[in-house]
Structure 1
Amino acid sequence: MTNAPTATNLMTDFSLEMTGKDIDDLDQAAGLIPAGTRVNVTFLGNEDLEMRLAASRSVLAKGLVPVPHISARRLTSRAELETYLGALRDAGAIDSVFAVGGDPSEPAGPYSDSESVIRSGLLAEYGVRRVSIAGYPEGHPDIADDVLWDALAGKADSLAKQGLEGTIITQFAFDEEPVFAWIEKVRDRGITLPIRIGVPGPAGVKRLVGFARRFGIGANAMIVKKYGFSLTNLMGTAGPDKLICALESGYDAERHGEVHLHFYTFGGLTATSEWIQRFGQN
């Protein structure tokens, strides 16, 4: 665990997220985003291959690094996965991907989880060099904790055996305490991959709470008050100021290893990028 950021620069090398519909927003935000920033491109059910490719090409054109998602349970066949990987390779967007299980409760094809995609060997075959995998500091509403831990260890091991670089991107959180407790458990299990802590960018309070409840993230009155908003007033907006200050204050490079931030842009790429720029000037 070398070259880890210090407690005062967790914002160094942050990453962002966009959907296939956010190209115009990316155009507007591009001047605010540092060159080389990683931008994850989602793999949602209401998007098609061309939308995902167009978003990845747009990220590249802005001097940024596309990290296309691969949603295992949305893939209908090995051929569909190969078509997607081949298209990413042709677009020059194959270097980094994020392999995730995806939302569907039942797989549409042969891949029941992201580990099965990694184990297929197709990522390396098509030129992928870096693979992000998911982490869940507050658990997953549909997956038992022991299964999550086994899967995390299995994916890390499979990446290492294939010579692929790995990164863990966590689900977003409102509270630093479960995040740090989870990171310590990850390190205690001998998993040394860099971790990107999921942080919600500035957005409407009602929208943030809705996403939190959907993904089983703590959104009780105590936690959200600590974060900086109230469940009794859902009409305003909130940014992650308090959370990031708490993360920077509690971060211990020796204990936690390499850690960065990943912004979920629920309020849009431009709003998030503007907030990051203002926060960095404070």
Structure 2
Amino acid sequence: MMSNELPTVALTRLLEGARYEVMPTATIADKVRAHLPLTVPLTVTAAPGKGLGATFDLATSLADSGYRVVPHVAARMVSGRDELVDIVARLKEHDISGIFVPAGDADPPAGAYHGAVDLLRDLEEIGHSFSHIGITGYPESHPTIDDDVTVQAMWEKRHYATHIVSNMTFDAEHLATWIERVRRRGVTLPLLVGVPGPVERTKLLGMATKIGVGESLRFLRKQKSIFARIASPGFSTDRFVSRVAALSSNPALRVEGLHVFTFNQVEVIETWRQRMLDEAVSARTRAR
């Protein structure tokens, strides 16, 4: 368990361990290799229009290059236990030791899994070698599911997971209230806070275009409020991350990491992270 930390110490720790989420597009593997050190953990999303094959192709390729990769295994995109067995075997073959299990947006689902807990139960029964299994958290609310239901779902999934990964969030006070509510429910899994990277709105729209016409429409409908809030002059990724670092100094909240949504602008995000790290280190030096 973490002890109380000075804000700059907590900020440095979070930035050093930040993991980046990328989408499986044609050019992202080359961008990752060109701009990200092997020390940066990566997650690879799953989109119904591309299929899980695209997710696993990118994840295994990056893992073979030496990155620590966590692919999304979207439950509603998996046809059933037989496919799940194949997925586990394939990821093990490439030494991938962690996965993230959302329900996913496939409608209708590909098979028997209508939610993440269904897949997680089967995963437990068939056996696996994953040391890290992430589940979703929704401090900003799910677009179609009530908050009480999402918090209850975390309770049901807690025995199968090692940590919670929140969706994108923008308000540190609201985040703190949500975390306290989750902890009161008895869910004690450590939390990675979903943070929007400092990416320009035009680049966000360009990313939506690259993931395909049908997917783009779904993406934009689901994330239109997110676009507006990222582009708002009142939102600062620097300030928000600093506030998350202050929350992480409270060991009872178990905020243990940052999950950065890159929208595949990995060079921009890595430049931002290194700048914030340099500023945090300089602040610690001045404080001595």
Same fold (TM over 0.5): yes
Do 1:176 and 1:247's aligned partners in 2 also have CA atoms closer than 8 Å?
A: yes
1:39 Cα deviation after fit: 0.9
Do 1:73 and 1:102's aligned partners in 2 also have CA atoms closer than 8 Å?
A: yes
Q: Which of 174, 181, 192 is matched with 2:177 structurally?
A: 181
Residue 254 of structure 1 corresponds to 251
Q: Distance in 1 between matches of 2:263 and 2:226?
A: 17
Q: Distance in 1 between matches of 2:155 and 2:125?
A: 18
In the superposition, the TM-score normalised over structure 1's length comes to: 0.81
Q: Distance in 2 between matches of 1:226 and 1:123?
A: 48
CA deviation vs aligned residue, 1:172-217 (integer Å, no higher than 9, x gap): 1222221111111112222221111111112122565986862475
Q: Distance in 1 between matches of 2:114 and 2:259?
A: 25
Residue 137 of structure 2 corresponds to 135
Compare 43-52 and 255-264 and name the one that shifted more.
43-52
CA deviation vs aligned residue, 1:59-80 (integer Å, no higher than 9, x gap): 3244321111101111123222
Q: Which of 94, 99, 102 is matched with 2:101 structurally?
A: 99
Question: For residues 40 and 3 of structure 1, do their structure 2 counterparts lie closer, same or farther at Cα, with a shift above 3 Å needed?
Answer: farther
Counterpart amino acid of 1:139?
Answer: S
Q: More helix by proportion, 1 or 2?
A: 2
Do 1:2 and 1:258's aligned partners in 2 also have CA atoms closer than 8 Å?
A: no
Residue 7 of structure 1 corresponds to 7
Q: Which of 9, 17, 20 is matched with 1:16 structurally?
A: 20
Q: Distance in 2 between matches of 1:226 and 1:212?
A: 21
Residue 59 of structure 2 corresponds to 56
Q: Which of 228, 232, 242 is matched with 1:224 structurally?
A: 232
Do 2:43 and 2:71's aligned partners in 1 also have CA atoms closer than 8 Å?
A: yes
Residue 116 of structure 2 corresponds to 114
Residue 151 of structure 2 corresponds to 149
1:115 Cα deviation after fit: 0.8
Question: For residues 216 and 4 of structure 1, do their structure 2 counterparts lie closer, same or farther at Cα, with a shift above 3 Å needed?
Answer: farther
Counterpart amino acid of 2:155?
Answer: A
Question: For residues 223 and 127 of structure 1, do their structure 2 counterparts lie closer, same or farther at Cα, with a shift above 3 Å needed?
Answer: same
Residue 75 of structure 1 corresponds to 78
Q: Distance in 2 between matches of 1:155 and 1:23?
A: 32
1:5 Cα deviation after fit: 6.5
Counterpart amino acid of 1:192?
Answer: T
Compare 119-128 and 172-181 and name the one that shifted more.
119-128
SS of residue paired to 2:7: coil
Residue 266 in 1 paired to residue 263 in 2?
yes
Any unmatched runs of 5+ in structure 2?
209-218, 280-288
Do 1:53 and 1:91's aligned partners in 2 also have CA atoms closer than 8 Å?
A: no
Matched residue count: 261
Do 1:75 and 1:111's aligned partners in 2 also have CA atoms closer than 8 Å?
A: yes
Identity %: 27
Q: Distance in 2 between matches of 1:49 and 1:101?
A: 13
Residue 47 of structure 1 corresponds to 50
Counterpart amino acid of 1:178?
Answer: H
Counterpart amino acid of 2:31?
Answer: D
Q: More strand by proportion, 1 or 2?
A: 1
